[in-house]
Amino acid sequence: MKLINTFATELPWACEPVVPQPLREPRLLHLNRGLLAELGLEGVSDTDWLACCGLGQQLPGMQPVAQVYAGHQFGGYSPRLGDGRALLLGEQLTTDGQRWDLHLKGAGKTPFSRFGDGRAVLRSSIREYLASEALHALGIPSTRALVLVGSKEPVYREQEETGATVLRTAPSHLRFGHIEYFAWSGQGEKIPALIDYLLRYHFPEQENGAELFAEVVRRTARLIAKWQAAGFCHGVLNTDNMSLLGLTLDYGPYGFIDAYVPDFVCNHSDPDGRYALDQQPAVGYWNLQKLAQALAGHVDGDALATSLAQYEHQLMLHYSELMRAKLGLTQWEEEDPALFRQLFQLLASQGVDYHLFLRRLGEVTGKGEWPVSLLALLPDPAIWQGWLELYRVRLTREGSEDAVRKAQMDAINPKYVLRNALAQQAIDAAESGDMTPFERLLAALQQPYDEQPEYADLATPVPQWYCGGELSCSS
């Protein structure tokens, strides 16, 4: 193993060197061995990973830096944010020519920590680890998790917790906020170098800034369409949490919906619902507008406007494709929006579990009784008869074959979803020293579409004991 450092060496004015700070009595909790092998890092020992992620010791080639960026947070501009508790350790170049950032979260104070301690807690670290791997397994672009380290380091949030680190990876952690920082800090002359860096290392198929922005729009639209179809709410869609590569980035108070709630809010710091589930498409567009404004003067204005105008179409096109697939429909019809709208109205009014409904809908056949498992989810099955009959007529019109359709629906409607209740159970156990629930949940989430009968207890509706829905930004 020997890392490279193109970001630190080519863009030194976009980062600050920082030495990681050791944790008190660190312990290695998990290694993502499969992903480490994919990145060519399987030869690094457990001892070395613990030393790197828990004791602040650098492995060959590491050149830790904290990146600087800005961002619009809840609609207001914050001129200087940056990596306040995370460090880019370096980049791993794989044998097929791909490059992957190694980014350590919870490594201690940086010049951008402001009044923070630069730490992450075990609770939030477990949540990020589980969520990033869960979304990846669902086919949703995301950063990935490599290493989880716990400790006895006291860290204070709403209460005293223990410190932890997550080593995460992605082709790049560049954000909308990187461009914004240099645009609005009087350093606009550096933006062309950022664009050139992105084109050379991450967008080789694009030739200039205009094409780059068009691709960012496309990736952002498709990412948010996938979130909406999966019932995933990010919770803090500030521009500094928006990836230029179209990845799910920075897991805080995220949440998958349980019962279908279109305006679901998972962040208790968002009382107005700016980042509610049903607001994510509009927020994505707003954030892209801010990115376009930061690029103005370096990219043709008409080209920026043309790309922005494509956002809604691209998002809705992909979302419609996903929802038709989730319903087992293979053909587009003009009645699709009405069919979807009526379904969502029923799900919301009846408080039906979104994920289990779609999974069990695959058991519907062209004739005969409705599946008992599906009816068991519905508080008042009689209210559903009209929609179910319309759905069955639609399947008949398509010539749908029951077994084929069920297999296709099972391949896109997960049986295992990272519900906050399940994450909390894993966290509670881990904080008591038991990583078994974490290991079981992670294993189930890595194959979310398979039956996996050994994990059937993780595929049930949200338990009655769980009353939490909103989390804090410190999550």
Residues tagged active-site? 240
Instruction: Label the pairing between strands 255-256 and 76-78.
Output: unpaired
Helix or strand holding residue 356 (H, E):
helix 354-361
* Residue whose token pair is 């650098």: 58
Task: Judge whether 68 and 12 are in contact, CB under 8 Å.
Answer: no
The overall longest dimension of the chain from CA atoms, in Å, is 69
Task: Judge whether 240 and 287 are in contact, CB under 8 Å.
Answer: no
Which one, of 165, 109, 141, lies nearest residue 227 by Cα? 141
Tell me how many helices (H) and strands (E) the chain has: 17, 12
Task: Judge whether 266 and 470 are in contact, CB under 8 Å.
Answer: yes
**Structure token digits, residue 23:** 């944790």
Contacts of 203 (CB under 8 A, 6+ apart): 211, 212, 215
209 exposure class (CB count in 10 Å sphere: 0-12, 13-18, 19+): buried
Which one, of 424, 447, 446, lies nearest residue 437 by Cα? 424
The separation between CA 298 and the C-alpha centre of its own chain, rounded to angstroms, equals: 30
Tally the residues of the chain. Answer: 475
